[in-house]
Amino acid sequence: MSESAVLVDAAVAGQRRSRLTGNGRPLWSAAVLLAAALVAMPVIAVVVDGLGSLNSGSIPQDIGSMVLVTVLLLVGVGAGTLLIGGGLAWLVTAYDFPLRKTLSWALVLPLAMPAYILGFVFLSTFDVGGPVQAGLRAVLGPGAWLPDVRTLAGAVVVLSLTLYPYVYLLARSALVEQSATTYDAARTLGAGRARTLWRVVLPLARPSLAAALALVMMETLTDFATVQYFNVQTVSVGVYLVWKGTFDFNAATQLSVLVLLFAVAVLGGERLLRGRSRFHQKPGRGEGLQPRKLTGWTRWVASLACLGVLGLGFILPVVQLIGWAAGEALASSEPLVDPRFAEYLVNSVTVALLVAVVCAGLALVTGHAQRLGGGPVVATAAQVTTFGYAVPGAVIGIGVLIAFARVDGWLESAGVPGGTGLLVTGSVAGILVAYVVRFLAPAYQAVDASFAKISPALTSSALSLGATPRRLLARVHLPLARRGVAVALALVAIDAVKELPIVLLLRPFGFTTVSVWVYELARENFWEKAALPALGIIAVAVIPVYFLFRRSAGLQAGAVTHAR
């Protein structure tokens, strides 16, 4: 998910220095302001329209239960990820047991498992018709009471299993890097291992944990596909159902304002939890926490705990999907690949490539313009371009719809015949815009990390040698930032292929992507048919996890890599 890049960036941040070179160039600065305006547009549209329609009176009736369910879901997933992610991070850092090395990175893999895929695999296994309940009924008799899995608890379990890696990664880096020297200092001052954990390590890790929780809750808030499998009605689901069911603009807008309030509350909560501590301690040198070797049966318990989570969150679902796909291939007389698959794949890939190119391009322009100076305005605008990741999908979707409707209205009143019907026919454009808003953050962070490695003196030299800003970009900045641009392209393209909520909300009739197809097949219980495309999505999604892992491994080594 798009936050993988955000996570890595949290580790790199703090090494920032002033690297402005010059006084800003109006055109390049304007481009950054434009990008910022694009990102801010959906939120502004939702807020303005939402406030404007407050007294129009069409507030949905079940709003109270939606809010309650949302709160419960956020709290549940937060607690679940904290327990799983934090616990596993502590286990692999503080103890040594069989397979620890392998498990310590493999535990990140569920990041590549979209919740809407794990969700349907989970349901197929544990729901009324699934093998588990069938088996239990065979043992206990047909009338035995069995728990209903299509509940809030089921959603919490599935979301926790896919989202815990965020907590795991940040907690682990906090345990390993941030507190190494402090840990050593505490131990030399006579504090024991446990006391050091409670008094030094945890307080130091608190900001990281808060950041991770915020990421988890944002992802939870954005989702309105997975939770629908479980009949859980959050406010985001409300937006989707109201819009798709009744096309009631006002009600959808008011609900998105509510979603936005939740997002603000989550970010505010993170600030509060973080307190005044500014984290990003310098990764100091030190032994830090040394894993203690577990002996006897406890070591196998530790291995099993890790394997269990990994199995539930990644291995078993993948095995199940492979099984279905294989069964489908062997059994059915139909062609192996559904002919529509090709069409949907083309849709997915086209959208993903377009969005990736636009995002990487905007990110490059933003980094370049910032290098050319422009002062606090451009710097602020560049920060604004990264806010999209913190805006829930429902808000972006409705915001884009409102904005498009407005543009439509203006065009119509400006005398363009028939208005253009942007709202309906232009919705693929709407999907593109919404994706750019959402995925500009990881693109910018990847490109910005590359720019940070380009010495400002290089920029100054090129300018003094007579290079115009455009030549500077083509001959110096782009070649030197190419790695960041490549990472940005890959991350955004992959995120776009995986993305489901926005495309569900904005897609015009008849426009289907692979992710939508998987979701629809799964909703109709055609699990076997959904297996192959789902595996495709997972395979693609493993790539950024690999990037993430390599980059964080590089950070841990603290190696000063040569620019070339």
Residues at the site binding another protein, with contacts judged by CB under 8 A: 21-23, 25, 455, 457-458, 460-468, 471, 475-476, 479-480, 562-564
Give dist(CA 256, CA 43) in Å, integer: 9
Report the residue number, 423 or 463, with the smaller CB distance to another protein: 463
Region for 374 from its dihedrals, namely left if φ exceeds 0, alpha if ψ lies in -120 to 50, beta otherwise: left
Q: How far is CA 330 from CA 274, 327, 335, in A?
A: 54, 5, 10
- CB-CB contact of 263 with 390 (8 Å): yes
Report the residue number, 11 or 463, with the smaller CB distance to another protein: 463
Give dist(CA 439, CA 449) in Å, integer: 16
Report the residue number, 411 or 486, with the smaller CB distance to another protein: 486
Instruction: Tell me how far, at minimum, the Cβ of 369 lies from another protein, in Å.
Output: 14
Count of beta carbons in the 10 Å neighbourhood of residue 198: 10
Report the residue number, 359 or 481, with the smaller CB distance to another protein: 481
Instruction: Tell me how far, at minimum, the Cβ of 23 lies from another protein, in Å.
Output: 5
Instruction: Tell me how far, at minimum, the Cβ of 375 lies from another protein, in Å.
Output: 10
> Is 325 exposed, middle or buried, given 0-12, 13-18 or 19+ CB atoms closer than 10 A?
buried
Give dist(CA 212, CA 163) in Å, integer: 10
Output DSSP code: residue 295: -
Instruction: Tell me how far, at minimum, the Cβ of 377 lies from another protein, in Å.
Output: 15
Instruction: Tell me how far, at minimum, the Cβ of 446 lies from another protein, in Å.
Output: 19
Count of beta carbons in the 10 Å neighbourhood of residue 379: 14
Report the residue number, 407 or 467, with the smaller CB distance to another protein: 467
Instruction: Tell me how far, at minimum, the Cβ of 363 lies from another protein, in Å.
Output: 20
Count of beta carbons in the 10 Å neighbourhood of residue 204: 18
Angle at 34 between CA 31 and CA 37, to 5 degrees: 155
- b/e burial code for range 86-97 (CB count within 10 A of at least 16 → b): bbbbbbbbbebb
Q: Distance between the two ends of the chain, CA-based, in angstroms?
A: 29
Q: Which of 213, 209, 204 is nearest to 279 (CA)?
A: 204
- CB-CB contact of 484 with 470 (8 Å): no
Instruction: Tell me how far, at minimum, the Cβ of 22 lies from another protein, in Å.
Output: 5
Instruction: Tell me how far, at minimum, the Cβ of 562 lies from another protein, in Å.
Output: 7
Instruction: Tell me how far, at minimum, the Cβ of 459 lies from another protein, in Å.
Output: 9
Report the residue number, 17 or 562, with the smaller CB distance to another protein: 562
Instruction: Tell me how far, at minimum, the Cβ of 351 lies from another protein, in Å.
Output: 32
Report the residue number, 472 or 500, with the smaller CB distance to another protein: 472
Report the residue number, 277 or 455, with the smaller CB distance to another protein: 455
Question: Looking at the DSSP assignment, which residues form a beta bridge with residue 324?
Answer: none
Q: What are phi and psi of 96, to 5 degrees?
A: -115, 130
Report the residue number, 315 or 452, with the smaller CB distance to another protein: 452
Report the residue number, 205 or 476, with the smaller CB distance to another protein: 476
